[in-house]
């Protein structure tokens, strides 16, 4: 084993362990009430919130750093579990600290220290960036309830208490627009037209991505992965594998692309890479449907922001810039690692050959992350 292989072994050990966050259930549910939300898809949603509401951040905030904090902030729940805000749990802080030591300790030493410090900064909530990330994390669950078609009565009671005396009460000074909107919705009144209202409509629509199931399973093979938690995991991949980039790659931009890249599946659904003998994914009809979905979904936002994020999605799809090529590479690598962990996964389901894997996956990975594919390729071979 080379030193480089050992380095990647540690990075993928962390990323594979992070997959377990998709099985940690939270106290709240999806907006359609169909099931409980998990902490991975929540982490994706708050990171998307931080991107959309960047203009609301306090002076001195680093938006890219805030998004990174939110990608990481709930990883400790893999060991410590979710802590509902309305229930006391005096041992939670100690359990989370112990979990952080274990989880970040899986990484190579330099990355371990850097990401652990990022998590600690978020927990302390003292820097402008951490305060913004905390405000997002405190506001999003309120609107998860308030924007639901039929909010549960007990969840409304929790929101009411949270706004009055809980951790969201000081949003009145930290983020007045969010506090005012939550108070208005809680009173059963419609929100007046505004950029905030439009952005909130977009983020409520984004919740539907948590109900789009993919062909790939979780690492433990227990169920299909959904596109929201996949998007979170990919953004985490970009954060962890940032040392694999070539010239011209902007990691914060890559993370933004990956947060957005599958939103069109709300309308179109997931199209498995290996379906229809590998042809369905790039069919003209699918590409046209995804382009139309992008126009509708990004069109929910205020014009300037909607155009900006739509352009970012188009850059990812075109796969021409260094950042887009790296993002596309990660989008191919992550399902491969899921398949390895689950014992073959979609390769078995779709009767994939090694030659097909090289063509459909290897060429894309090598295009954007050439040093990564030899490592991944070696670990795929035993399955063929």
Asked whether the predicted pLDDT for residue 97 surpasses 70, the reply is yes
Lowest mean pLDDT among 41-55, 82-96, 185-199: 82-96
Asked whether the predicted pLDDT for residue 2 surpasses 70, the reply is no
Same-domain check for residues 254 and 362: yes
What b/e readout covers 351-362, taking b as 16+ CB neighbours within 10 angstroms? ebeeebbbebbb
Asked whether the predicted pLDDT for residue 46 surpasses 70, the reply is yes
Domain end point (choices 162, 194, 226): 194
CB atoms under 10 Å from CB of 199, counted, come to 21
In a domain, 244, yes or no: yes
Same-domain check for residues 147 and 59: yes
Domain end point (choices 164, 194, 224): 194
Same-domain check for residues 309 and 164: no
In a domain, 205, yes or no: no
Domain count, the chain: 2
Domain that holds residue 324: 212-383
pLDDT at 90: 77
Domain end point (choices 133, 166, 194): 194
What b/e readout covers 60-69, taking b as 16+ CB neighbours within 10 angstroms? ebbbbbbbbb
Reported as a pLDDT band with limits 50, 70 and 90, residue 3 is: low
In a domain, 75, yes or no: yes
Q: To 5 degrees, how large is the angle CA 354–CA 16–CA 125?
A: 145
pLDDT at 276: 74
In a domain, 203, yes or no: no
Same-domain check for residues 15 and 99: yes
pLDDT at 231: 98
Reported as a pLDDT band with limits 50, 70 and 90, residue 87 is: confident
In terms of Cα–Cα distance, which of 101, 75, 102, 79 is closest to 91?
Answer: 79
Same-domain check for residues 154 and 247: no
Same-domain check for residues 137 and 239: no
CATH at residue 117: 1.10.3210.10
User: 207 or 3: which carries more pLDDT confidence?
Assistant: 207
Asked whether the predicted pLDDT for residue 142 surpasses 80, the reply is yes
Work out the mean pLDDT of the chain and round it to a whole number: 95
């Amino acid at each position: 084993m080379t030193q480089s292989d050992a380095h990647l072994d540690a990075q993928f050990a962390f990323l594979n362990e992070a997959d377990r966050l998709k099985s940690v259930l939270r106290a709240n549910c999806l907006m359609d009430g169909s099931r409980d939300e998990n902490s991975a898809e929540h982490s994706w949603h708050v990171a998307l919130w931080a991107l959309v509401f960047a203009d609301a951040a306090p002076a001195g905030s680093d938006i890219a750093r805030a998004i990174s904090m939110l990608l990481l902030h709930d990883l400790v729940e893999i060991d410590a579990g979710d802590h509902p805000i309305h229930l006391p749990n005096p041992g939670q802080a100690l359990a989370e600290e112990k979990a952080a030591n274990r989880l970040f300790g899986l990484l190579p030493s330099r990355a371990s220290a850097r990401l652990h410090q990022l998590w600690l900064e978020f927990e302390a909530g003292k820097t402008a960036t951490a305060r913004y990330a905390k405000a997002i994390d405190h506001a999003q669950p309120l609107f998860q309830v308030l924007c639901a078609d039929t909010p549960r009565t007990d969840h409304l009671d929790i929101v009411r208490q949270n706004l009055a005396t809980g951790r969201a009460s000081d949003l009145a000074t930290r983020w007045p627009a969010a506090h005012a909107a939550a108070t208005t919705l809680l009173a059963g009144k419609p929100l007046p037209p505004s950029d905030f209202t439009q952005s909130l409509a977009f983020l409520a629509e984004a919740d539907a991505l948590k109900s789009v199931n993919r062909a790939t399973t979780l690492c433990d093979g227990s169920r299909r992965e959904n596109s929201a938690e996949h998007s979170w995991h990919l953004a985490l991949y970009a954060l962890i594998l940032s040392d694999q980039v070539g010239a011209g790659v902007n990691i914060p931009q890559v993370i933004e692309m990956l947060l957005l890249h599958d939103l069109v599946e709300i309308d179109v659904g997931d199209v498995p890479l290996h379906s229809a003998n590998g042809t369905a994914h790039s069919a003209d009809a699918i590409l046209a449907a995804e382009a139309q979905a992008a126009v509708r979904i990004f069109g929910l936002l205020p014009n300037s922001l909607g155009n900006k994020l739509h352009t970012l999605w188009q850059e990812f799809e075109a796969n021409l810039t260094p950042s887009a090529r790296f993002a596309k590479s990660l989008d191919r690598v992550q399902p491969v690692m899921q398949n390895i962990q689950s014992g073959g996964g979609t390769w078995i389901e779709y009767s994939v050959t090694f030659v097909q894997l090289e063509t459909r996956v290897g060429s894309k990975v090598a295009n954007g992350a050439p040093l990564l594919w030899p490592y991944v390729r070696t670990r795929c071979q035993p399955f063929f």
